Each structure stands twice: as C-alpha cells, then as structure tokens.
Structure 1
Amino acid sequence: MTDHIDPNPQKDPSDWTTGDEPMTGPQKSYLRTLAQEAGVDVPEELTKAEASERIDELQRTTGRGT
C-alpha cells in the first residue's frame, strides 16, 4: 500500500508570504465573474489572500471549481 502524496499541496492563504499584496489581475477578473454569477458585490481592493478566500467561497456558492 502506498501513501498518496499530493504533488500540489494547498497552502492556507493566510500563510502566504505575498498574501498581503494586492490581488492579481486574473484573481480580480475571476472574482468579478463569480460575484456576478452569485449575484453579490465584492470589494475592489482585496489582498491576494482575501481574494483567494473569497474565490473559494464563491466557487462553493456557484458550483464552479468542484
């Protein structure tokens, strides 16, 4: 029996060394798309970590990314 090792482990956004930098262009674009589908507003100025967490939340809400 072999142990499964995830080749791309997920790191908690709050642990990112660059998590406090402004969100990236692709994050902003995808977040805007998800927010529109979910019928919610999102702040324009989020950090990378905040945007990632919000994206995860909206993916669950919209059923994307599952």
Structure 2
Amino acid sequence: MIDNTEQAPRENPEKDRSGWVTGDEPMTGPQRSYLHTLAQEAGRGVPDDMTKAQASAMIEELQRQTGRGAD
C-alpha cells in the first residue's frame, strides 16, 4: 500500500510582528531571561522597556550573532 499523504511543514510560518495582538505588551519573563543570556554572550545590552515583538526580533538577531537557536 502506498501512502500519498503529504506531511505538514516542520516550521511554523513566520508571522509579521506588527500584526501581533499582544506585540505591544511588555516582554515576558522568559523572553527577558533568554535575551539577557544571549546579550551577555554577544556583549550587548538589553533595554528594560522592550515589547514582546521587539524582544522577539532581538532574540532572533542575537541567535544569529551567537550561533544559538535554529537556522
């Protein structure tokens, strides 16, 4: 028997941060913690007043810079 079903893509499609319903809320505790870990490794600072969307963007940037995270 041949299975012709297609598998769903492994990655979630990237959503535009500007459309996030909660994107303007303050970053979460886990975001803050992970950002500080990445920033320390990269020799960068983290503003305390970042939004969830800004924190997400900075996490992605620092992951690329440090080689952490998924490609």
Q: TM-score range by the shorter chain?
A: 0.7 to 0.9
Q: Which residue in 2 is equivalent to 1:29?
A: 33
Greater relative contact order (Cα < 8 A, sep 6+)? 1
Deviations, residues 13-52 of structure 1 (Å, cap 9, x unaligned): 2221110000000000000000000001110110000000
Q: Which residue in 2 is equivalent to 1:59?
A: 63
Under a length normalisation based on structure 2, what TM-score does the superposition of the two structures give?
Answer: 0.80
Under a length normalisation based on structure 1, what TM-score does the superposition of the two structures give?
Answer: 0.86
**Pairing partner for 1:6 from 4, 9, 31:** 9
Distance 1:64 1:13 in 2: 21
Cα shift at 1:10: 2.2
Unaligned ranges ≥5, structure 1: none
Cα shift at 1:9: 2.2
Task: Among all aligned residue pairs of Structure 1 and Structure 2, give the percentage whose two residues are the same amino acid.
Answer: 65
Residue 41 of structure 1 aligns to which amino acid in structure 2? Answer: G
* Paired residues, number: 66
Runs of at least 4 residues of structure 1 off by over 2 A?
1-10
Distance 2:19 2:44 in 1: 27
